[in-house]
Amino acid sequence: MRLVLLAALLVAALPVFAAAPARPARLGLCAACHGETGMAQMPGAPNLAGQRLDYLRNALAQYHDGRRDVAVMRAAIGPVSDAELDALARWYSAQPPAPQARP
Ligand code: HEC
């Protein structure tokens, strides 16, 4: 009986998970600097939360081929496959940006 209830709860929760992209396996690589939800964790690292997907994809492609020659980023994405980079771009793009305080 408990199992049935658990199964029903899981099914009810599924659409919530389907709405957002799955958490990428390589997220830990980026989170040290950009945070898990795209809010930067260190000085000099940009926030990525809510950034346009095409912009993130393009930026990653530029680090990849050297048009953006920034050592930390080139080292960070070196071992990551194109499919994984795309998953990371989709993840960060889907995160809600932090509300800005008005000056
Ligand atoms: C050691 C810290 C560090 C790590 C780890 C790191 N980044 Fe970065 N990232 C930076 C810094 C610093 C910049 C700004 C570089 C520049 O001036 O172009 C940056 C820039 C970017 C940008 C461009 C943002 C923009 O507004 O143009 C993207 C996209 C990005 N990182 C994604 C990632 C992803 C995805 C990962 C994980 C695979 C990752 N980064 C790992 C430090 C890091």
User: Which 3-state string (H, E, C) describes the chain?
Assistant: CHHHHHHHHHHHHHHHHHHCCCCCCCHHHHHHHHCCCCCCCCCCCCCCCCCCHHHHHHHHHHHHHCCCCCHHHHHHHCCCCHHHHHHHHHHHHHCCCCCCCCC
- Hey, what CATH class is 24-94 in? mainly alpha
The amino acid sitting at 41 is: Q
Residue 77 Cα to ligand 1 midpoint, Å, equals: 9
Of 98 and 4, more confident: 98
Residue extents of the structural domains in the chain? 24-94
Atom of ligand 1 nearest to the CA of 26: 38
pLDDT in tens, 44-92: 999 999 999 999 999 999 999 999 999 999 999 999 999 999 999 999 9
Residue 101 Cα to ligand 1 midpoint, Å, equals: 24
The token duo for 49 is: 């939360």
Quick check: CB of 77 below 6 Å from ligand 1?
yes
Quick check: CB of 33 below 6 Å from ligand 1?
yes
User: What pLDDT, on a 0 to 100 scale, did the predictor assign at position 8?
Assistant: 61
